[in-house]
Structure 1
Amino acid sequence: MAVKVLVVDDSGFFRRRVTEILKSDPTIEVVGTASNGAEAVEKVSALKPDVVTMDYEMPVMDGITAVRKIMARSPTPVLMFSSLTHEGARVTLDALEAGAVDFLPKNFEDISRNTDKIKRVLCDRVKTVARSMRRSAAPATQAGPRPTASRLGAAAPAASQQAGAPARPVVYNRGAAKHKLLAIGTSTGGPVALQKVLTELPANFPTPIVLIQHMPATFTHAFAERLNRLCKITVKEAQDGDRLQPGVALLAPGGKQMMIDSRGGVVRILPGDERLNYKPCVDITFGSAANAFGGKVLAVVLTGMGADGRDGARLLKSKGATVWAQDQASCVIYGMPMAIVNANLADAVLSLDDIPSRLVEAI
């Protein structure tokens, strides 16, 4: 079945180019376009697309207001187009909080050149979002009931579990050794998930935290500022040489890699390696944490597409560390956590709602 898309933008040129790019994929059908937010809200109700691509700055009704109305009337996955500026980052974060699933940089030059890369990125993102939403909306007879935390001592999910199937949840054994670092990795859906987790941690949270969120360089500073404003703990974009401190969360800067110094006291910020798909990369930070702290790490993998974090989690587990994964039912995209579960690396599979309280219990 083709993925049905509604394209929303006040620029006629941009609407045409996005439509042409999406139509180049035979598995995608553009069912309509809209030139402002109010028109988008009406067309979502009438056309029932699987995914909406949405601009922010539009006449009559802006993109964030349109997202809120769509989520209230006809909940539909929305992919925002964002400018790569500090203001664009702020607006995009507002849109994600309003209910948008993900975002892509709005680059007129790339769209105009009609590069194969922009075609692949846009079409793949639309299809991934649509697949994830269809799976999360499947009846319980197909996808299984929503997982809930079991009692202590339950077995870890089997590695042979089929992709997309909900994992059998377990919870962390509080009798384990005290953790010296909390490391959280995430991608699509991560900004809202991280906000949910971090805002519920107390100001006296006793363990240093490192955060790895797939995000452009111009976004991470704005995201750290937003989290710091909302949280009781301190959140800041990491800088080279920052010390790990209790109750302080260091967010890996976009376009770079964050590593834990082998002596365990500071973070190192290194240039992004072009050979790596992700900058920042969860595997890189997790791996360095394993070398620095061994089994004294609690790593959490939240919502996101792909499998970043799996190799780093495997190294952490080899050192005796603890790894948690977000459950399918509460993920925006069940990709990164599923990779952890299917590799039999998860000590716990938890709903997003349960993770903050479990962290307080465990640390």
Structure 2
Amino acid sequence: MNYTVLVVDDSIFHRRRLKEMIEEDARLKVIDAASNGKEAILKAKELSPDIITMDVEMPVLDGISAVKQIMQHQPVPILMFSSLTAEGADQTLDALDAGAVDFLLKEFDNKFNPDKDVGFKLRSKILTLVRKRHTLKRQTRDIAKLKNAPKTFIRAEKTLVTAPVAEPVKIISGVVKSGKTYKCLAIGASTGGPVALQKTLAVLPASFPYPIFLVQHMPGSFTEAFAQRLNQTSNVSVKLAKDGEKVQPGVAYLAPGGRQMLLKGTSSACTIRITDIEDDGRILYKPSVDLTFFDIAKVYGGDVLALILTGMGSDGTEACTRLKRLGATIWAQDEKSSVVYGMPGAVTKAKVAQVNIDLEHISQCIKSEMV
């Protein structure tokens, strides 16, 4: 099947370069290009592309404003391009809040860029995201509510999506408290995760009694801004994890991008380790859900509720398998509400996740089970 792409960028060079990289895959066709957000809105309506690539900073109308209007009238997957700066991080998070489904760093400024993965990453994300067009409007509306609410409260993996789950998946919208003992909550996410994490944490009370460990695939320059944003929209305290700090109940620790968040000690005296681990070809992500969750298993044993949210690939499945053997509770986001059902699909297909839960109900399920 072939898919159509609308490229939006104010630079002629970037538009041409994107077209070249995208059309290296015969399944993808750039049907047109726009040089600003206003043109993008008109062409999106006229051409109904399967996906849009969108720059942030453009004349006439910026990318974030264009995303808001496009998602309001004709929802379509939008892939943002971001600069590797603090300002770029904030702008990208704003775009994701507005309804964009994912982002890539703008690494193709130099046509002699030796990083051959740039084109692969771009094509991989496009092919994955065009298959997911539902729930976009609802997610945009949900995040708008979070942003307006007062605070009272990357290296790509080769596997784009997992195979369909053979057996019927148990999908729930609520839980009855099991009475199981818990000592921490662990959450892993990738593509679509920034929005999913905001929704998941938003309803948890400030008195949440356990530490929370968050692993989101994200560049290092983005995670500080993302931690601040989560802290603004959550009741619990959210912070970027620091090396050597002691874990406290009721605090959510976000793994820094580009590094690994590990743990040492005991469940009553746990300390965070932020470290660099030599890439031997097996570690696909920095941070890695598997690496963090394996250490969570060592420290907390089976007294864990582990949750795998939307994301590409299968990061987290191996460690969740270990956690389940120790008696941990494993949940996964359901396919319908996931931007990409890779990670939650993998842990479900492996028969590790006990249930799948719609994003709309995850936070309340956590609250019902753990509080």
What's the TM-score once normalised by structure 1's chain length? 0.89
312, 317, 322: which one aligns with 2:319:
312
> Quick one: percent identity of the two aligned structures?
48
1:112-151 CA-to-partner distances (Å, cap 9, x unmatched) read 43743111111111111112338x89xxxxxxxxxxxxxx
2:346 equivalent in structure 1: 339
Give the CA deviation at 1:195.
Answer: 0.5
1:204 maps to which residue?
Answer: 207
Structure 1 stretch displaced more, 294-303 or 124-133: 124-133
Kindly provide the CA deviation profile for residues 72-128 of structure 1, in whole angstroms up to 9, marking residues without a partner as x: 111110000000111100000000000000000012445543743111111111111
Equivalent residue number for residue 362 of structure 2 = 355
Corresponding residue for 1:66? 66
Give runs of aligned pairs for residues 1-363 of structure 1, distance below 5 A.
1-109=1-109, 111-113=111-113, 115-133=115-133, 162-163=164-165, 167-170=169-172, 174-264=177-267, 265-275=270-280, 276-363=283-370
Shift of 1:277: 1.0
Secondary structure in 2 matching 1:132:
coil
Q: Which residue of 2 aligns with 1:140?
A: none
> Does the 8 Å CA contact 1:187/1:214 hold for their aligned counterparts?
yes
- The alpha-carbon distance between structure 1 residues 95 and 113, as it changes in their structure 2 partners (threshold 3 A), is same
Looking at structure 1, the residues matched to 166 and 86 of structure 2 have their Cα atoms a distance apart, in angstroms, of 36
- Displacement, 1:63? 0.3
Which runs of 5 or more structure 2 residues have no equivalent in the other structure?
137-162
**Kept in 1: contact 2:216–2:254 (CA 8 A):** yes
- Note closer, same or farther for the CA distance 1:17–1:166 as it changes in structure 2 (3 Å cut): farther
- Offset at residue 189 of structure 1 (A): 0.5
Aligned residue identity for 1:69 = Q
Displacement of 1:199: 1.4
Q: In 1, are the aligned partners of 2:75 and 2:133 still within 8 Å (CA)? A: no
Q: What SS class does the counterpart of residue 232 from structure 1 fall into?
A: coil
**3-state SS in 1 of match to 2:133:** helix
Shift of 1:176: 4.0
Structure 1 residue 261 displacement after superposition: 1.1
Shift of 1:27: 1.1
Tell me the C-alpha RMSD between the 2 structures: 2.0
Letter paired with 2:56? Y
User: Structure 1 pair 110/352, CA: closer, same or farther in 2 (3 Å)?
Assistant: farther
Equivalent position amino acid for 1:228 in 2: N
Contact 1:273/1:279 (8 A) holds in 2: no
**Structure 1 residue identity aligned to 2:369:** A
Q: Distance in 1 between matches of 2:97 and 2:115?
A: 31
SS state at 1:266 partner: strand
Distance in 1 between the 2:111 and 2:307 partners? Answer: 36
Q: Quote how far apart the aligned CAs of 1:164 are.
A: 8.8
Structure 1 residue 242: deviation in Å?
1.9
Supply the AA of the counterpart residue of 1:120.
F
- Mapped partners of 2:277, 2:98: distance in 1: 31
CA deviations on 1:195-250 (whole Å, 9 max, x unpaired) are 11111111101110000000000000010011112211100000112222121000
Give the equivalent residue in structure 2 for 1:145: none
What letter matches 2:182 in structure 1?
H
Structure 1 distance, partners of 2:193, 2:335, is 14
Distance in 2 (CA, whole Å) between partners of 1:102 and 1:287 is 27
Unaligned runs of 5+ in 1: 138-160
**Size of the alignment, in residue pairs?**
340
Task: Give 3-state SS (helix, strand or coil) of 1:329's partner.
Answer: coil
Aligned in 2, Cα 1:204/1:249: closer, same or farther, shift over 3 Å? same
Opposite residue 276 of structure 2, the aligned amino acid is P
C-alpha separation between the residues in 2 aligned to 1:214 and 1:163?
A: 24
Residue 200 of structure 1 aligns with an amino acid whose one-letter code is V
Q: What TM-score does the superposition give when structure 2 sets the normalisation length?
A: 0.88
Runs of 4+ in structure 1 over 3 Å off: 108-112, 161-166, 170-173
